[in-house]
């Protein structure tokens, strides 16, 4: 019989960081090395970008449709960011967690703080760019936003970086593979926490010793 019985429920992992820090790139690579994760698909009222795949990168809806869903209590959390709504649909999250899967939310900071209020045991990871210069380079190279939008995202980034202390972990995304490994290590370590232990099964020590040391003829094993 196994000595330990640990909590089977998955962990809720919240990943934030300035736009362009590399959150989506890291999560895509994480999926290749960790099959026990499910990445929540958010809903947004922002315009579809050339690299978006509807119902895969986001569920795209109009502002009015989004507001209707807010009224209907569809979201675990939602926030307004850069002039658009973004929200995490509640459904599916609990099922995945109950199936022992780690659920990943890639969301901005206001939303992350709401999740922290609702689910304090969630794990909060902040992805940090190596420098502001590199962040600017990545946003420009990604080529998905106008200069105006990039300017705005850059201004928001300054505010966001000051919130890093509200998170449990920070991963600097300099070398991509290293950053992916660090995030995966956090997920693996969190599974090893002592507070996940639900029961410890140890037989009577006298009986166990007798069986192990006397009946199994340990003396002989040692002499050989």
User: What, of ligand ADP, ligand 5GP, none, does residue 42 touch, CB below 5 to 8 Å by kind?
Assistant: ligand 5GP
8 A C-beta contact, residue 61 and residue 69: yes
| CA-to-CA dists, residue 40 to 14, 68, 86, angstroms | 10, 20, 12
- Residues binding ligand 5GP: what is the number (CB under 6 A)? 15
Cα angle 196, 179, 120 (rounded to 5 degrees) comes to 35
Enumerate the H helices of 119-223 as residue ranges. Answer: 132-142, 147-161, 176-191, 205-209, 218-223
Rounded Cα distance, 78 and 56, in Å: 18
Q: Do residues 126 and 17 lie in contact, with contact meaning Cβ atoms separated by under 8 Å?
A: yes
Site string for ligand 5GP, 27-66 (x = CB under 6 A): ---------------x---x--------------------
Contact letters (x/-) for ligand ADP, 101-140, by CB under 6 A?
-------------------------------------x--
When asked if residue 20 is in the footprint of ligand ADP (CB under 6 A), the reply is yes
What does DSSP assign to residue 11? P
Residue in 30, 88, 150, 182 binding ligand 5GP, rule: CB under 6 A? 88
Residue 83 Cα distances to 44, 111, 173, angstroms: 11, 15, 27
Whose CB is nearest to ligand 5GP? 111
Sole binder of ligand ADP in the list 9, 46, 142, 191 (CB under 6 A) = 142
* Tokens 């502002």 belong to residue: 63
List the one residue from 106, 139, 161, 179 that touches ligand 5GP (CB under 6 A). 106
Q: Which residues bind ligand 5GP (CB under 6 A)?
A: 19, 23, 42, 46, 77-79, 81, 86-88, 106-108, 111
Q: Which residues bind ligand ADP (CB under 6 A)?
A: 17, 19-25, 138, 141-142, 173, 176
């Amino acid at each position: 019989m196994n000595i330990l019985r640990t909590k089977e429920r998955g962990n809720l992992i919240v990943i934030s960081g300035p736009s362009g820090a590399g959150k989506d790139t890291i999560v895509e690579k994480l999926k290749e090395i960790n099959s026990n994760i499910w990445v929540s698909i958010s809903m947004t009222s922002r315009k579809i970008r050339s690299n978006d795949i509807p119902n895969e990168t986001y569920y795209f809806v109009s502002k009015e449709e989004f507001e209707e869903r807010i009224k209907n209590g569809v979201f675990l959390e939602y926030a307004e960011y850069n002039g658009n709504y973004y929200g995490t649909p509640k459904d599916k999250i609990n099922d995945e967690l109950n199936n022992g899967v780690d659920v990943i939310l890639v969301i901005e900071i206001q939303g992350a703080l709401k999740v922290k209020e609702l689910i304090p045991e969630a794990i909060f990871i902040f992805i940090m760019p190596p420098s502001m210069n590199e962040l600017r380079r990545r946003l420009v190279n990604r080529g998905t936003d106008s200069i105006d939008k990039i300017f705005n995202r850059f201004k928001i980034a300054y505010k966001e970086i000051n919130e890093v202390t509200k998170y449990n972990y920070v991963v600097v995304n300099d070398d991509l593979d290293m950053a992916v490994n660090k995030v995966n290590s956090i997920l693996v370590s969190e599974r090893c926490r002592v507070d996940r232990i639900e029961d410890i099964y140890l037989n009577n020590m006298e009986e166990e010793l007798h069986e192990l040391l006397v009946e199994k003829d340990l003396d002989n094993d040692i002499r050989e």
